[in-house]
């Protein structure tokens, strides 16, 4: 039990740790790997212990909570940054628009990375339903999208709220017996890393796109241009 508590405390620090700044165009939070990899290795040794503790302590409140947050790692999540990007552009909110572009890029990158790993590793799920357990795509996607917004909105309260969503999404996947703890930690590493790669990709390539929107009571229209 002490190992389990230690891992979750490390996960907390791992999620909220600040990036190390550098002078290059590409910036990456090295704490994601410095803390994430040892955390992942430790989690492998307690996967079954965590699974048993959670599966033996289910209740109606957690059932409802996990059903809600499991939704934030589903395919629906891809539409969040797209929708927010349109609204941000219409309202001329440059910061929110940039955060949404990063979220779109990072969600794509995280999904591709997870897909390749799932095909290569073929780890069986805890419930024995298939061999797509490692890593958790729900977790990776949630951290990629909500982590992108947290990257731009650095107010402590806002970051806590934003990171709470993917953290509970990760818990929901373990609770539903679809993933082991190590699957979700690997997903978090991929999702958080994708934020930095997504931001770089967005600034280098998506900045060439110009989006014009027109929203009123009667109709909605948009025009997307690409500058070569």
Confidence (pLDDT) at 156? 79
Average pLDDT over residues 15-22: 48
What mean pLDDT comes out for the span 184-206? 89
Which fold, 2-215?
Answer: Vanadium-containing Chloroperoxidase; domain 1 (1.20.144)
92-101 confidence digits (pLDDT tens):
899 999 999 9
Q: Work out the percent of the chain whose per-residue pLDDT is above 90.
A: 66
Q: Which residues of 191-218 are buried (b: 16+ CB within 10 A; e: fewer)?
A: bbbbbbbbbbbbeeebeeeebebeeeee
Average pLDDT, the chain: 84
Terminal Cα distance for the chain, rounded: 57
pLDDT greater at residue 76 or residue 19? 76
Which of 24-28, 95-99, 141-145, 202-206 has the highest mean predicted lDDT (pLDDT)? 141-145
The pLDDT of residue 180 is above 90: yes
Model confidence at 103: pLDDT above 60: yes
Distance CA 129, CA 123 (A): 11
Give 86's pLDDT tier (boundaries 50, 70, 90).
confident
Closest alpha carbon to 111 in 78, 160, 76: 78
**Token pair for 166:** 């993917």
User: Is 70 exceeded by the pLDDT of residue 17?
Assistant: no
Residue-wise DSSP of 196-225: HHHHHHHHHTGGGEEEEEEE-SS-EEEEEE
Residue 43 pLDDT grade (very low, low, confident, very high; cuts 50, 70, 90): very high
Domain ranges in the chain are 2-215
What is the per-residue pLDDT for 29?
87
For position 226, what pLDDT does the model report? 43
Average pLDDT of the residues in 147-154? 93
Alpha carbon distance 21, 108 (integer Å):
25
Give dist(CA 217, CA 225) in Å, integer. 25
Q: Taking 80 as the threshold, does the pLDDT of residue 221 lie above it?
A: no
Rounded average pLDDT over 191-200: 93
What is the model's pLDDT at position 16?
52
Residues 43 and 8: their CA atoms lie apart, in Å, by: 10
Close Cβ partners of 105 (under 8 Å, ≥ 6 residues apart): 194, 197, 198, 199, 201, 202, 206
């Amino acid at each position: 039990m002490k190992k389990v508590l230690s891992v979750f405390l490390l996960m907390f620090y791992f999620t909220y740790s600040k990036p190390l700044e550098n002078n290059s165009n590409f910036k990456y939070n090295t704490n994601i790997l410095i803390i994430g990899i040892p955390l992942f290795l430790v989690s492998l040794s307690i996967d079954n212990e965590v699974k048993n503790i959670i599966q033996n302590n289910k209740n109606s409140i957690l059932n409802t909570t996990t059903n809600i947050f499991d939704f934030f790692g589903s395919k629906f999540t891809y539409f969040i940054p797209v929708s927010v990007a349109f609204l941000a552009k219409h309202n001329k909110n440059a910061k929110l628009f940039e955060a949404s572009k990063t979220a779109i890029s990072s969600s794509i990158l995280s999904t591709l990375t997870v897909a390749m790993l799932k095909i290569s590793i073929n780890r069986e799920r805890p419930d024995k339903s298939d061999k797509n357990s490692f890593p958790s795509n729900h977790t990776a996607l949630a951290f990629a999208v909500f982590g992108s917004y947290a990257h731009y909105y650095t107010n402590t309260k806002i970051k806590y709220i934003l990171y709470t969503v993917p953290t509970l999404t990760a818990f929901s996947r373990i609770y539903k017996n679809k993933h082991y703890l190590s699957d979700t930690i690997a997903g978090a590493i991929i999702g958080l890393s994708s934020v930095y790669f997504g931001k770089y990709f967005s600034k280098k390539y998506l900045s060439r796109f110009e989006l014009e929107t027109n929203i009123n009571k009667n109709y909605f229209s948009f025009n997307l241009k690409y500058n070569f």
